[in-house]
Amino acid sequence: MTEISEGRLSSRVRNLQPSAIRRMLAASSRPGMISFAGGLPAPELFDVSELQEAAGAVLSRNSHSALQYGATEGVIGLREELVQIMNRRGLRTDVDKIIVTTGAQQALELIGKVILDKGDVVLVERPTYTTAIQTFRLCGANVLGVDSDNDGLRTDALERKILELRYQGLRPRMIYVIPNFSNPAGWLTSIERRRLIAEVAVRQKVLVVEDDPYGDIYFGSPPAPPIYAFADKSKESAPWFCYLGSLSKIVAPGLRIGWAVLPSDLVQPITIAKQGSDLQGSTYTQYVAQYYLRSGRLPEHLLMIRKAYSERCKLLSEALRRNLGHRVEYLQPKGGLFVWVKLLNDINAEDVVEKAIAHGVVYVPGGPFYSDNPNLDTLRLTFATAQQGDIEEGTRRLAAVLCVEPRA
Ligand code: PMP
């Protein structure tokens, strides 16, 4: 890394580390490397012909408005389509509460900017999305993990932690959760936990931010409705729920279309913060997304990607069982793009990653997915972009590195 002169950086960024995932992605592109790292959707599954059609139609029919500046909140026709998506996911809302963002990532940043002061506490699952941890820290937050299990965030631990923090004079301001097929853990928050998280949020007056880029990628039945949908309709409940969606994993990340369903009182502050950040998202890709969603093509496309990812997930799970079965534990994912693996032989996944790269296989060590007290014997694998033949060979290479004899 280039050396940076003393005192040059703000205190906000001084201690930030480059993302471990980006480092692993660099290794992924080496010749002959089998990569289970990264979290990219599979490019061969993009709906290129329909998107091409949408892009062409937008330029021939709506070029003046699609190439012009637009409203900070987003293109109204797209927001109407997003209301329909939310209805299908079990949350009734209206366009006035939806803001289109440059990926869900920007929504995380804007919410952080708008509600967090230096030292405020954000509570997250253990483990959670590493870039969310970094984003909230950049907003000055103290990010703390709450014990979680295969049903998601443990609500008994959550409420206890909130009360303890208050007793210490700290301000818990946000509960950040990924209820559907979490990145990295792959777990699905149970319906009962959703209800309990909603109750804790209202009782303790803490904003729940639920981040849901993977909910439509389910392999069996669809997930329960969003936590937001468990809020009762009272005035007391309304301010404590916020839902983030994204087209990145279900259509294409290059469009950079995400959205936030916000409590009414946050709509204006978030809009002002977005103006200061980028004025607006790309009008052009919003029009393309609007055209694509209106074409009615998405449900069929989702069927296709669910099938493809579910097959890849099965291949990886079976290969893990065959080649590393007695040395690892993992939860069979019911959707999403990831398998979260715990090493049973006390190996530190960070220590062996260089050895793995030398053996031609790369994964993401689990440490960066923890805000505090990392479990270093964990790692994240993605099946999304691994090619069929590579999955078997990749797990054999992993087994060799983790000193396990693959079974015949
Ligand atoms: N949240 C989670 C949990 C993610 O995994 C990602 C992408 N990896 C994002 C948010 C950001 O997605 P985007 O900005 O592309 O919508």
Which tens digit of pLDDT belongs to each residue from 197-227?
Answer: 999 999 999 999 999 999 999 999 999 999 9
- Residue 362: pLDDT band by 50, 70, 90 thresholds? very high
Q: What span, in angstroms and rounded, lies between the C-alpha atoms of 218 and 21?
A: 24
User: What is the best residue among 24, 40, 243, 246 to mutate for testing ligand 1's pocket, by most ligand atoms within 8 Å of CB?
Assistant: 246
Residue with tokens 């980028």: 278
As a whole number, mean pLDDT of residues 301-312 equals 97
Mean pLDDT of the chain: 93
CA atoms of 67 and 334, how far apart (whole Å): 40
Query: What is the DSSP code string of 248-280?
Result: TTTT-GGG-EEEEE--HHHHHHHHHHHHHHHSS
Report whether residue 105 contacts ligand 1, using a CB cutoff of 6 Å: yes
Alpha-carbon gap, residue 238 to 92, rounded angstroms: 13
pLDDT of 111 over the 70 cut? yes
Give 167 Cα–ligand 1 centroid separation in angstroms.
Answer: 34
Gap from CA of 258 to ligand 1 centroid (Å)? 9
Beta-bridge partner residues of 365: 379
Three-class SS of residue 333? coil
CA-to-CA distance for 113 and 103, rounded, in angstroms? 16
Q: How much distance in Å is there from the Cα of 400 to the middle of ligand 1?
A: 32
The β-bridge relationship of strands 121-125 and 142-146 is: parallel
CA of 98 to the centre of ligand 1 (A): 18
The answer to whether the CB of 218 falls within 8 A of the CB of 187 is no
Distance in angstroms (rounded) separating the CA atoms of residues 379 and 356: 12
Q: Is the CB of 211 under 6 A from ligand 1?
A: yes
Ligand 1 atom at shortest distance from the alpha carbon of 102: 14
Higher per-residue pLDDT: 252 or 354: 252
Tell me, using a 6 A CB cutoff, whether residue 178 lines ligand 1.
Answer: yes
- For residues 143-165, average pLDDT: 96
Query: pLDDT per residue over 34-65, tens digit each?
Result: 999 988 999 999 999 999 999 999 999 999 99
pLDDT exceeds cutoff 70 at 403: no
For ligand 1, say whether the CB of 253 is within 6 Å of any of its atoms: yes
Residue 381: phi and psi, rounded to 5, are -115, 140
Top mutation candidate among 24, 183, 250 for ligand 1, by most atoms within 8 Å of CB? 183
Task: Among 108, 129, 259, say which to mutate for ligand 1: greatest number of ligand atoms within 8 Å of CB.
Answer: 129
Q: Quick check: helix, strand or coil at residue 379?
A: strand
Q: Are 16 and 134 in contact (CB under 8 A)?
A: yes
Instruction: Please give the pLDDT value at position 389.
Output: 85
Best of 211, 274, 278 to mutate for ligand 1, by most ligand atoms within 8 A of CB?
A: 211
Residue 52 token pair: 């091409």
Centre of ligand 1 from the C-alpha of residue 245, in Å: 9
The whole-angstrom separation of Cα 85 and Cα 92 is 10
Q: Is 101 in the pocket of ligand 1 (CB under 6 A)?
A: no
Ligand 1 in reach of 371 Cβ (< 6 A): no
Q: How many angstroms does the Cα of residue 212 sit away from the middle of ligand 1?
A: 8
The response to whether residue 248 sits with its C-beta less than 6 Å from ligand 1 reads: yes
Q: What is the mean pLDDT of residues 254-281?
A: 97
Q: Report whether residue 183 contacts ligand 1, using a CB cutoff of 6 Å.
A: yes
- The separation between the first and the last C-alpha atoms of the chain, rounded to the nearest angstrom, is 44
Atom of ligand 1 nearest to the CA of 182: 3
Residue 8 has pLDDT above 90, yes or no: no
H-assigned helices in 103-228: 103-115, 130-138, 155-167, 191-204
Of all residues in the chain, what percent carry a pLDDT higher than 70? 98
Angle (nearest 5°) at CA 244 between 87 and 263: 80
Instruction: Give the tokens for residue 384.
Output: 């999304």
The structure's pTM equals 0.95
Contact of 252 with 239, CB cutoff 8 Å: no
CB 12 within 8 A of CB 140: yes
3-state secondary structure 199-242: HHHHHHCCEEEEECCCCCCECCCCCCCCHHHHCCCCCCCHHHEE
Please report which helix (H) or strand (E) contains residue 119, including its range. Answer: none
Bridge-based pairing state of the strands 207-211 and 172-177: parallel
Determine the distance separating the centroid of ligand 1 and the alpha carbon of 108, expressed in angstroms.
Answer: 9
How far is the C-alpha of 338 from the C-alpha of 188, rounded, in Å?
12
